[in-house]
Amino acid sequence: MADVRLLAVGQKMPSWVQDGCAEYLPRFRHQFRLVVEEIIASKKDGADAREEHRKRLFDRLKSHDFLILLDERGRSYSTTELADQLTQWELSGRSLVFAIGGADGWCDDVRARADVQWSLSNLVFPHPLARVIVIEQLYRADSVRQGHPYHRS
């Protein structure tokens, strides 16, 4: 079973985000179970917020975790490319950790620690929406790997 976590800055998500997450999280198969863990958002902004988020993220990471950082400067993947990447990342033998930052993004230290940086789009999404998109896209990519008809292309 793959150990897969989504660490997301922010708490007390609106009901529509909770509903979106509740729609997809139970669908993941036993071998690729995604667990969402919230990182308390800083009340500061800018560099101070990024530093607090760095500390809180690093407190949750193990040295052997494979960190996939959600960042607008990261690489974009098509659905099939993401499915292939998931397989490659799993083959690292390390636990997969996806991380969504706060409104001010991630600091350079976090980017340096990341094994991969993934951009959802050239567009920037609000944090709550990004959380739902990441969960749905991971479910879609895993369903492609399983030959499940959820992704019909």
Q: For the domain that residue 46 is a member of, what is the CATH number?
A: 3.40.1280.10
Q: In residues, how long is the chain?
A: 153
**List of E strands, the chain:** 2-9, 32-39, 66-75, 96-100, 116-118
Helix axes 79-90, 127-146, angle to 10 degrees: 80
Any domain includes 27? yes
Q: Comparing C-alpha atoms, which of 137, 63, 144 is closest to residue 100?
A: 137
pTM score of the predicted model: 0.93
Any domain includes 112? yes
| Strand ordering across the sheet containing 96-100 | 32-39, 2-9, 96-100, 66-75, 116-118
Give how many domains the chain has, as a whole number.
1
The whole domain housing 109 covers 2-146
For residue range 72-120, what is the model confidence (pLDDT) as tens digits?
A: 999 999 999 999 999 999 999 999 999 999 989 999 999 999 999 999 9
